[in-house]
Amino acid sequence: MTTIETIADQLKLLGDKTRLNIISILVQQEACVCHLVEILQTTQPNISQHLRKLKDAGLVKEDRRGQWIYYSLQIEDKPHIQAVVEYLPEAEEKVKTILNGLPCK
């Protein structure tokens, strides 16, 4: 059973613009750090820090493939997060192009 404190902590994480952007990207499809760096125009350490917080809260999961780690949403059991995600705007075409075409390096 999810507690009010857990829900509050998870929603508080989404109050950060970068983390909310990461969530909106991962709604479209999984991504690695290099995709998120390119899309959000920020540094790799910054993205990694935000992903760690989202992972620690149980909102994203990682899948290691060789030397790359891909991140995806893990909100199936979090209807309060699903409700927020439902209202996020769809990713721009530029984001879709980067997600589908940028090789990890």
Tell me if 97 is assigned to some domain.
no
Give me the mean pLDDT over the 32-61 stretch: 96
| Number of domains the chain is built from | 1
Residue 62 pLDDT: 96
How far apart are the C-alpha atoms of 40 and 35, rounded to whole Å?
9
Tell me if 96 is assigned to some domain.
no
Tell me if 25 is assigned to some domain.
yes
Tell me if 48 is assigned to some domain.
yes
Which residue range forms the structural domain that includes residue 28? 4-90
Tell me if 104 is assigned to some domain.
no
Q: ∠58-75-14 over CA atoms, to 5°?
A: 70
34-43: per-residue pLDDT in tens?
999 999 999 9
Query: In this structure, what CATH number is given to the domain that contains residue 33?
Result: 1.10.10.10
Give me the mean pLDDT over the 11-20 stretch: 95
Tell me if 99 is assigned to some domain.
no
Backbone angles phi, psi at 92, to 5 degrees: -70, 165
Residue 55 pLDDT: 97
Tell me if 56 is assigned to some domain.
yes
Residue 2 pLDDT: 82
